[in-house]
């Protein structure tokens, strides 16, 4: 009994000393609190439906730094993917697709009153700043997609480029209004007002504003005959998204968003239909055709007359007698 107790104490002491946990292995790495080993399985991170990047209600016991989840919803400013909680918000783990889709643009001061803007597609747009307007700074923020310039009086003007193209819609109409603004209407009837009077200072006269719907451009011409072209179609391309929804034919559909993330949704089964009317038996159909009699009469009617005898078969080969079989086994005698 003493030996048994000693062994039990040693075993419990060893278990307490070895605090690592191994799944699929009896010897987890000493540097890991938890090591999982498998050749054909993965770890399934909890899948939750976040409402936005500041969601503090979905996790019932509160968000803690480094908490990792897989978000399944596409709402507000979250899309399907892995998110971790840090700095009081949910941060998405980027993929190769996110890196490839990163917008790369440049804005260069040409030193002659013009600026050259190059989009991520390589499209070059020259912005001509008239000589009577002293430009102090012009900054393009590719995160918020805004242009901010500050004049000589230190008055900042912010041009919000995404408002020119709501949700990357196809350009339907572009109308110059009498008050100096431009109204853009997409194919869904949503309108966006561009207040040019707030963009162009009073000391700069604009003699013409031309909207080319087919080309997707707005051309400004000032009193000096200098033109500035804004290419709206470039902004449409920048914000355009491509998604797919595929019927898998097995009661599920797969939705793939613009970042290549695929989500498969199982559709609920439909309700059972109304039971059909019982069909008629062969005997009932026979009676319906005007026949009379019992079911025995019906079965008898199914038996036809005897057919003609078939042709005689070929005669078979004569067999051996018992005596011949006896001789064939090696016996001798008469």
d(CA 282, CA 168): 66
Residue with tokens 């595929």: 246
d(CA 29, CA 105): 47
For residue 80, with 0-12 CB atoms within 10 Å meaning exposed, 13-18 middle and 19 or more buried, which class applies?
Answer: buried
Q: Which residues contact 282 (CB under 8 A, 6 or more apart)?
A: 298
Q: How far is CA 31 from the centre of its chain?
A: 38
Radius of gyration, alpha carbons of the chain? 42
Q: What tokens were used for 28?
A: 């987890």
Model's pTM, two decimal places?
A: 0.30
Q: Which residues contact 105 (CB under 8 A, 6 or more apart)?
A: 117, 118, 119, 120, 140, 142
DSSP bridge pairs for 150: 137, 156
Could you tell me if 262 and 254 are in contact, meaning their C-beta atoms sit under 8 angstroms apart? Answer: yes
Could you tell me if 127 and 114 are in contact, meaning their C-beta atoms sit under 8 angstroms apart? Answer: yes
Could you tell me if 220 and 212 are in contact, meaning their C-beta atoms sit under 8 angstroms apart? Answer: no
d(CA 295, CA 284): 9
Domain ranges (residues) in the chain: 17-93, 106-239
d(CA 56, CA 135): 45
pLDDT score recorded for residue 15: 43
Could you tell me if 79 and 258 are in contact, meaning their C-beta atoms sit under 8 angstroms apart? Answer: no
pLDDT score recorded for residue 203: 44
Q: What are the helix (H) ranges across 256-321?
A: 282-288, 295-301
Q: Which residue stretches of the chain have pLDDT < 50?
A: 1-16, 132, 165-169, 171, 202-203
d(CA 37, CA 147): 52
Q: How many other CB atoms are there within 10 angstroms of residue 133's CB atom?
A: 15
179-206: burial string, b at 16+ Cβ within 10 Å, e else: eebbebbbeeeeebebebeebbeeeeee
């Amino acid at each position: 009994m003493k030996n048994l107790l000693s062994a039990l104490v040693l075993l419990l002491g060893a278990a307490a000393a070895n605090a690592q946990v191994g799944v699929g292995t009896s010897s987890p790495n000493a540097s890991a609190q938890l090591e999982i080993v498998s050749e054909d399985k993965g770890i399934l991170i909890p899948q939750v439906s976040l409402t936005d990047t500041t969601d503090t209600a979905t996790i019932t016991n509160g968000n803690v730094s480094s908490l990792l989840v897989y978000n399944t919803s596409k709402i507000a400013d979250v899309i399907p993917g892995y998110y971790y909680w840090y700095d009081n918000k949910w941060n998405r783990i980027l993929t190769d697709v996110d890196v490839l889709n990163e917008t790369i643009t440049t804005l260069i001061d040409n030193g002659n009153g013009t600026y050259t803007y190059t989009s991520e597609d390589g499209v070059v747009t020259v912005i001509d700043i008239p000589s009577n307007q002293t430009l102090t700074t012009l900054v393009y923020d590719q995160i918020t997609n805004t242009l901010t310039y500050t004049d000589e009086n230190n008055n900042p003007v912010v041009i919000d480029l995404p408002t020119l193209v709501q949700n990357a819609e196809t350009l339907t109409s572009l109308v110059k209004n009498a008050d100096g603004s431009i109204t853009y209407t997409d194919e869904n009837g949503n309108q966006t007002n561009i207040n040019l009077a707030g963009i162009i200072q009073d000391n700069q006269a604009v003699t013409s504003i031309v909207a080319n719907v087919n080309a997707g451009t707005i051309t400004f011409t000032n009193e000096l005959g200098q033109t500035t072209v804004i290419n709206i179609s470039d902004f449409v391309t920048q914000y355009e998204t491509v998604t797919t929804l595929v019927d898998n034919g097995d009661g599920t559909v797969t939705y793939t968003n613009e970042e290549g993330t695929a989500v498969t949704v199982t559709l609920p089964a439909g309700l059972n239909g109304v039971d059909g009317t019982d069909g008629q038996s062969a005997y009932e159909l026979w009676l319906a055709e005007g026949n009379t009699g019992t079911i025995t009469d019906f079965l008898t009617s199914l038996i036809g007359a005897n057919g003609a005898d078939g042709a005689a078969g070929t005669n078979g080969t004569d067999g051996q007698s018992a005596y011949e079989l006896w001789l064939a086994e090696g016996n001798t005698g008469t």
